[in-house]
Amino acid sequence: NAGVTQTPKFQVLKTGQSMTLQCAQDMNHNSMYWYRQDPGMGLRLIYYSASEGTTDKGEVPNGYNVSRLNKREFSLRLESAAPSQTSVYFCASRLRDREIAEQYFGPGTRLTVT
């Protein structure tokens, strides 16, 4: 099993450009999550999907949109990138919602917006 995979690994955007970060998991997990990590801070939740067909806002959703394409895939879109969105983005998945279970993380996408 590959676990949680993310593409791309690195990306540089100019202010105002758009892009989609891709995430896929092969563990048949129900819930998927997008986080951002900034220097000196822990991870902050952007959006999550408790199950296929549902998405909800997390702590810092402004400037982002998500799509739960199917059970495996959960994408994060920046419609008009801003320098404040320079960060490392992590996708995670979890076996079941509303049960005690750990999350499995992808390797991250390092995004720079100039």
Residue 41, token pair as written in the block: 């801070």
**Least distance (Å) between residue 87 CB and other proteins:** 14
**Least distance (Å) between residue 4 CB and other proteins:** 7
The answer to whether the CB of 78 falls within 8 A of the CB of 71 is: no
Cβ-based nearer residue to other proteins, 17 or 103 = 103
Residues 75-104 contacting other proteins, CB under 8 A: 90, 92, 94, 97-98, 100, 102-104
Rounded to a whole number of angstroms, the CA Rg of the chain reads: 13
Residues 42-61 contacting other proteins, CB under 8 A: 42-45, 48, 50, 58-59
Binding region for other proteins (CB under 8 A): 4, 31, 33, 35, 40-45, 48, 50, 58-59, 90, 92, 94, 97-98, 100, 102-108
